[in-house]
Structure 1
């Protein structure tokens, strides 16, 4: 879709591999939600939580009190070994391009140096528009 008035949405993918209760304090999680809801309202098209540990269900119940209903509906819990989760990912992504750790078929991984350079160029471009 190409329209001057079209708004792009982002898909926020969180990989919980290696996650522990102490790795993400509740205050940081609340701050992340605050930033998304208040600075990027309507920008998040979906939030994909990949392979969260079972204890995260209790954590999620606490975090739910701080999340607006509109954002809450966009949150999807997916597990790479679950057929329903695989369907959700296939509906949202090209599985040939999606990393295998998220249930896709791409095994090439990320070149962190190239990614960092790309983000730095993007930040510089953004700063030119802000001034």
Structure 2
């Protein structure tokens, strides 16, 4: 490995080495990215994101630069932060995906109930996942954490999800998360896993990197009580042995989402319209801090 593009194992954990590498990574990304810089995309070259991408590529600066550049281009094309709840409402109505609360480490929990996910529209499924992740990232700021917990209920795992198209979708989502949301997954807990899921998992797991695989916990129905190791009883729904008697109410959920969205979309528009110079980006201390004004 080129000594100019990586940090030696002996020094990669020292704050000064990480800071130096983050600055070198930032410079490389600025050289690679041809698009205009603004308050929105400049967030990707902020200190925390730079460190995430460095860790994702084992502190190889050249590889991290390519990865981060690809994320910048992808986000400009897809604009996941601008996905509206209205775009995925047909899916949300089923109550298959929603925000559950926070785990014991104060990480936001997004829950997916596979047996309610009967939509065959594969592009919509991807958009739902992106929407949930982007929302959780915004929620992370409230509890000052940097990753999320994903709870997946595999009860009545439908056979159609093992079709080639759905298998490919699952693989593409895994790759998408690895490529554009490095270090965002804290823990994924799959519960009520039936025997048939093992076949599906054998196919998917080949595309999951080692670090991500270590964050995935698969629990059979008899082991569901282990959820308490990660999530408080007050947050765990009663159907999983907890004390939370929450019943999904689509109208109430949409009202909450749209109220949040109204505030967030205003910020997105403002951030996207505020240009940032290369000189600002190259400052050692991150000059681009998103201004989160308190709601009046």
TM range (shorter): 0.7 to 0.9
CA distance in 2, matches of 1:49, 1:21: 17
CA distance in 2, matches of 1:125, 1:69: 38
Change in CA separation of 1:101 and 1:35 when aligned onto 2, cut-off 3 Å: farther
| Aligned residue in 1 for 2:154 | 16
| Aligned residue in 1 for 2:195 | 54
Q: Which of 200, 207, 211 is 1:70 aligned to?
A: 211
| Aligned residue in 1 for 2:250 | 112
Matched residues, number: 126
Change in CA separation of 1:102 and 1:8 when aligned onto 2, cut-off 3 Å: farther
The answer to whether structure 1 residue 86 and structure 2 residue 206 are counterparts is no
CA distance in 1, matches of 2:241, 2:252: 23
- Which structure carries more helix by proportion? 2
RMSD value, Cα = 2.4
TM-score (norm 1): 0.80
Alignment check: 8 A CA contact 1:80 1:102 kept: no
CA distance in 2, matches of 1:44, 1:38: 12
Query: Greater Rg, structure 1 or structure 2?
Result: 2
Post-superposition offset of 1:19: 1.6
CA distance in 2, matches of 1:68, 1:124: 37
Q: Which of 222, 236, 239 is 1:101 aligned to?
A: 239
Change in CA separation of 1:116 and 1:17 when aligned onto 2, cut-off 3 Å: farther
Q: Which runs of 5+ in 2 are unaligned?
A: 1-105, 107-140, 270-296
Change in CA separation of 1:104 and 1:65 when aligned onto 2, cut-off 3 Å: same
Change in CA separation of 1:20 and 1:73 when aligned onto 2, cut-off 3 Å: same
The correspondence of residues 25-36 of structure 1 with structure 2, limited to 5 A, is 25-36=166-177
Q: Which runs of 5+ in 1 are unaligned?
A: none
Post-superposition offset of 1:95: 1.0
Range that drifts further, 20-29 or 52-61: 20-29
Post-superposition offset of 1:35: 2.3
Change in CA separation of 1:103 and 1:33 when aligned onto 2, cut-off 3 Å: farther
Alignment check: 8 A CA contact 1:99 1:109 kept: no
Q: Which of 262, 265, 284 is 1:124 aligned to?
A: 262
TM-score (norm 2): 0.38
Change in CA separation of 1:31 and 1:102 when aligned onto 2, cut-off 3 Å: farther
Post-superposition offset of 1:72: 0.6
CA distance in 1, matches of 2:210, 2:262: 34
What secondary structure sits across from 1:81 in the alignment?
helix
CA distance in 1, matches of 2:221, 2:250: 23
